[in-house]
Amino acid sequence: MTLASLAAAGASSVPSQLLPAREQMAFTLGFHIILVPFGVAFTFLMLIANYRGIRRQDADAMLLARRWSQVAGVLFAVGAVSGTVLSFELGLLWPGLMGRFGAAYGIPFAVEGLFFFLEAIFVSIYLYGWKRMAPWPHFWSGVPVVLSGIGGTSSVVAANGWMNQPGGFQVRGGRVVAVEPLRVFFNAAFWFEALHMLLAAYMVAGFMVAGVYAAGLLRGRRDRYHRLGLAIAFTVAAVVTPVQIFVGDVAAREVFHREPAKFAAIEMLPHTSTHVPETLGGVLIDGTVRYGIDIPSGASLLSGFSPDTKIYGLDVIPAPVRPPDDLVTTVHLAFDVMVGIGFALLALALWFAVVWWRRRAVPENRWFLACTAVSGVLTVVALEAGWVVTEVGRQPWTVVGRLLTRDAVTTTGNLWLFFGATVLLYVVVGAATVYVLRLMRRHWQQPEGNGEEDVPYGPRTRQDAAVPAGDAA
């Protein structure tokens, strides 16, 4: 530690590692979470296409499944390694959290490890089984991937839910004693958070994939292959969207009842009162709300079904743990963005449903395709915004009421260096991922080669040894 940082730490009793640790956690999780839907939900789309391909002898569907599995393979690898970094970071950045609460908080992660194993194993079998396995056994080898994706998501989010509403343990003499594993895992925030995240993953994967094929259709590739790709992905996304809004609404009411501090931040409410308006947009400056649009009594009506519903404001939070204005604004705006995107996508899904109902065909109107093409990006924004609501909305706590973030953080080393190296590496890896995906698409678009034959470096084994790979120098 340098002298300057020592002095700073002494003055404020906030370790100098806190800021870089938070930045790094947010950055790496924010990166990782974009890949998660592809391991969890994209594989489901792939199985739908696979099923259709076998059942109806549909060559287009089969080709879609095959290519999707290759994309999933690349994204799964990046997701797995970026997830591994998160595991290291829990110890490297937050030893106060792990050392003190690992005995309880670790349990959902142990369950998660089990699902990761199954997921990694069956992804490999599915991915590399295309050529030599019989169609149905191959299809079935993909099913555990989807199931363990659901299990894995639920477990990690169970850990996150526990940080929001900790339970199932007692602390005596600074040590966790008397852990009740089931109450740790199935904590009060578990059900709605896990379901909400799972549906978010399906929305992201659905709209993202639909967007890719919508873009292709817009560019004039109006063949059955593109229409089918759009239809499969969009249907899943469209079915999930209304359910997601319902679950989000339930989540908001649960947060209102059980996490009043976070709810005050979400509603950006300085003072406890009834007839609370729903403020859209706006910022909190010096404890007063500015520039927002108010819907009279909206918040009270939504949270308690009556304008007389009392909502606690930021004023009931003790001053030392009250979140500062800018943090509250962040949480509030992130919530608005998430909800706004949710309703925008609902409108898009209805559009699709109406056209499908009337014409039994995918809408090919330019406006619809253009909206669909950007919908994927919007879902990712909503996904990130949702996590900002949950995570930033919990501050200054890491484990609500139990552990402050500044007590969770490590107090050694210069984390800016680690953070810098991580950002650099992730930028390169992120750019390379995009590049590689585009490269795959380019191969597929070439009339002769359909990309499935690519092998690194040299000739292949035995039977297809005649195909030389790439343009070896």
Partner 1 sequence: MSTFAAVVLFAGVVAYAVLGGADFGAGFWDLTAGGAERGRRPRHLVDESLAPVWEANHVWLIFCLVMMWTAFPTAFAAIMTTLYVPLGLTALGIVMRGSGFAFRKVVVQTDQQRVVGAAFALSSIVSPFFLGTVAGGIASGRVPTRGYGDPVTSWLNPTSVLGGVLAILTCAFTAAVFLTAEARRRDDDELERYFRRRAQVTAVVTGVVALVGIAVLHADAPRLFDGLLSRGLPLVILSGACGLLALLLLSRAAPRLLQGLAVAAVASVVVGWGVAQYPYLLGTHLSIQVAAAPTSTLWSLTLVAAAALILVVPSLALLFSLQQRGRLEA
In terms of Cα–Cα distance, which of 229, 231, 235, 248 is closest to 203? 235
Task: Mark the segment that binds ligand HEM (CB under 6 A) among 315-323, 340-348, 398-406, 455-463.
Answer: 340-348
Residue 403 forms beta bridges with which residues?
A: 399
Member of 26, 48, 54, 118 binding partner 1 (CB under 8 A): 118
Which of 212/341 has CB closer to ligand HDD? 341
CA distance 219 to 221: 6
Task: Mark the segment that binds partner 1 (CB under 8 A) among 226-234, 341-349, 359-367, 427-435.
Answer: 427-435
248 near ligand HEM, rule: CB under 6 A: yes
Task: Mark out the alpha helices in 165-189 (DSSP H runs).
Answer: 181-185
- CB-based contacts of 60: which residues, under 8 Å, 6+ apart? 53, 224, 225, 228
CA distance 22 to 27: 8
Is 261 in contact with 317 (CB distance < 8 Å)? yes
Residue 304 C-alpha from the chain's centroid: 29
Task: Mark the segment that binds ligand HDD (CB under 6 A) among 47-55, 69-77, 159-167, 217-225.
Answer: 159-167
94 near ligand HDD, rule: CB under 6 A: yes
**Scanning residues 192 to 251, which ones bind ligand HDD (CB under 6 A)?**
none
What character string, x for contact with ligand HEM (CB under 6 A) and - otherwise, covers 413-452? ----------------------------------------
193 near ligand HEM, rule: CB under 6 A: yes
Which of 67/406 has CB closer to ligand HDD? 406
Minimum distance from CB of 11 to partner 1 (Å)? 21
From residue 221, alpha-carbon distances to 110, 206, 224, 227, 384 in Å are 46, 20, 9, 9, 32
Task: Mark the segment that binds partner 1 (CB under 8 A) among 187-195, 235-243, 264-272, 465-473.
Answer: 465-473
159 near ligand HDD, rule: CB under 6 A: yes
404 near partner 1, rule: CB under 8 A: no
Supply 430's token pair.
Answer: 């992120």
Number of residue whose CB is nearest ligand HEM: 39
218 near partner 1, rule: CB under 8 A: no
**Scanning residues 344 to 403, which ones bind ligand HDD (CB under 6 A)?**
384, 387-388, 391-392, 394-395, 398
Supply 25's token pair.
Answer: 């956690």
Parallel, antiparallel, or unpaired for β 288-290 and 283-285? antiparallel
CA distance 240 to 234: 10
Supply 194's token pair.
Answer: 């896990």
**Scanning residues 154 to 173, which ones bind ligand HEM (CB under 6 A)?**
156-157, 164
CA distance 429 to 420: 14
Minimum distance from CB of 339 to ligand HDD (Å)? 17
What character string, x for contact with ligand HEM (CB under 6 A) and - otherwise, covers 251-270? xx--x------x--------
CA distance 214 to 235: 13
